[in-house]
Amino acid sequence: MAVRSSILGTGSYLPEKRITNADLEKMVDTSDEWIMTRTGIRERRMAAPGQNTSDLAVEASRKALASAGIDAKDLDMIIVATLTPDALLPATACMVQHKLGARMVASFDVVAACSGFVYSLSIADHYIRSGSARYILVIGADVLSRVVDYTDRGTCVLFGDGAGAVVMGPGNGRAEVLYAKLHADGSGAQKLYIPAGGSAIPASRETVDARLHFIKLSGREIFKFAVTATAEAIREAMEDLNLSPGDIGAVIPHQANVRIVDSVAERLPIAREKYFLNLDRYGNTSAASIPIAIDEAAGRDFLKPGMHVILAAFGGGLTWGSAVLRW
Ligand code: UT7
């Protein structure tokens, strides 16, 4: 039985099309200056018509499998964290399983919005540590451009499309998962949500006319929640593992808004330069944000062997959580 799980390989995929702040200036009453100073986002990516969440997930997964040196046929489980599944039925993970040519292994989606990747990593970690699975593909993928209202300047500037994936397997002393802790508070469900299209408010002509199939966001409230939840999740992980600020080599926060990261950094004794950021180029890609960041940080030597790396997520649900890796 494996004692720990490791990340054996990483991959990411961003669609080619860029939506710059100048492009958004032509769609809504906004400005590059407002978007840059309030969010730090310069541009985001948009999937091509017909390019769906499973397609992005498969691209990222192929790279993660290649970097792990694992064949899709060796996978024991596929988990896709997403809030924009290809369809409500079946799970996007089943589409990914088929497209990758994986065996008929358990494949399911996790709906925890922007915290979905950390939730999924924790599930995979438990399966591997218990010996119930050997190799698990964990993907965060979202095509948010399909649920963003491009007439709402309060949300359309924030989000982008992308996918990130990791292959997890029995611990090998590299990139081991030391810890994961998850939280949720459903009392805040309507602070970040898509009102219609589920069983409560099924799709109808009226729901489409009322634009109820798009993301609704209480920006200021989510901002405050994000800062508190992220800072608390990091603090909790450090306390539970008895880590001092000097022990932390890198923090990979959910990439939503540079001001959220700045505020978190102000509240914690971890040096600001240890926080990895790429949100200027991709905006908020929800469940994809942390695995894309891990892939880029690993590729750029931002993550070094032996370093403690904290992943910190928050999102709709409300959900939040952290994980600690020893890279
Ligand atoms: O993964 C979780 C997803 N959600 C988030 O992470 C969002 C968290 N929240 C935020 O990042 C910020 O709250 C926003 C970036 C969404 C908004 O920034 P803010 O500093 O909290 O602005 P605000 O909502 O307080 O709005 C300030 C002003 C308002 O105008 P008035 O009422 O002061 O006249 C807004 O109407 O800015 C206006 N505004 C804009 N102006 C130009 C809102 N969006 C825009 C825009 N361009 N795109």
Residues having CB within 6 Å of any atom of ligand 1: 30, 34-35, 38-39, 114, 153-154, 157, 192, 217, 219-220, 222-223, 226, 256-257, 284, 315
Same domain, 146 and 199: no
Quick one: how far is CA 66 from the chain centroid? 21
Of 173, 201, 221, the domain-final residue: 173
User: Mean pLDDT by 10-residue block, N- to C-terminus, for the chain (327 residues)?
Assistant: 88 98 98 98 98 98 98 98 98 98 98 98 98 98 98 98 98 97 98 98 98 97 98 98 97 98 98 98 98 96 96 98 98
- The secondary element (H helix, E strand) that includes residue 216 is strand 216-217
Same domain, 199 and 138: no
Q: Which of 114, 156, 278, 308 is catalytic?
A: 114
Of 156, 173, 190, the domain-final residue: 173
pLDDT tens digits for range 312-322: 999 999 999 99
Same domain, 163 and 182: no
Q: Which atom of ligand 1 is nearest to the CA of 24?
A: 48
Q: Which atom of ligand 1 is nearest to the CA of 220?
A: 13
Nearest CA to ligand 1 atom 21: 220
pLDDT tens digits for range 101-114: 999 999 999 999 99
291: which residues sit within 8 A by CB, 6+ positions away? 10, 12, 60, 117, 138, 139, 140, 163, 164, 165, 166
Same domain, 159 and 215: no
42: which residues sit within 8 A by CB, 6+ positions away? 20, 21, 36, 280, 281
Q: How close is the Cα of 228 to the center of ligand 1, in Å? A: 18
Mean pLDDT of the chain: 97
Whole-number CA gyration radius for the chain: 19
Q: How close is the Cα of 294 to the center of ligand 1, in Å? A: 27
What is the pTM (predicted TM-score) of this model? 0.97
Entry field: residues in the chain: 327
pLDDT value of position 3: 84
- What is the C-alpha to C-alpha distance for residues 67 and 268, in angstroms, rounded to an integer? 34
Same domain, 42 and 130: yes
Q: Which of 254, 257, 278, 308 is catalytic?
A: 254
Same domain, 132 and 229: no
Same domain, 151 and 94: yes
pLDDT value of position 147: 98
Domain that holds residue 300: 178-326
Same domain, 163 and 196: no
Q: Is 284 designated active site?
A: yes
Of 128, 158, 173, the domain-final residue: 173
Q: How close is the Cα of 219 to the center of ligand 1, in Å? A: 6
Q: Is 254 designated active site?
A: yes
Q: How close is the Cα of 292 to the center of ligand 1, in Å? A: 25
Q: Is 156 designated active site?
A: no
Same domain, 186 and 168: no
Same domain, 16 and 109: yes
Look up tokens 């062997």; give the residue. Answer: 305
pLDDT value of position 1: 53
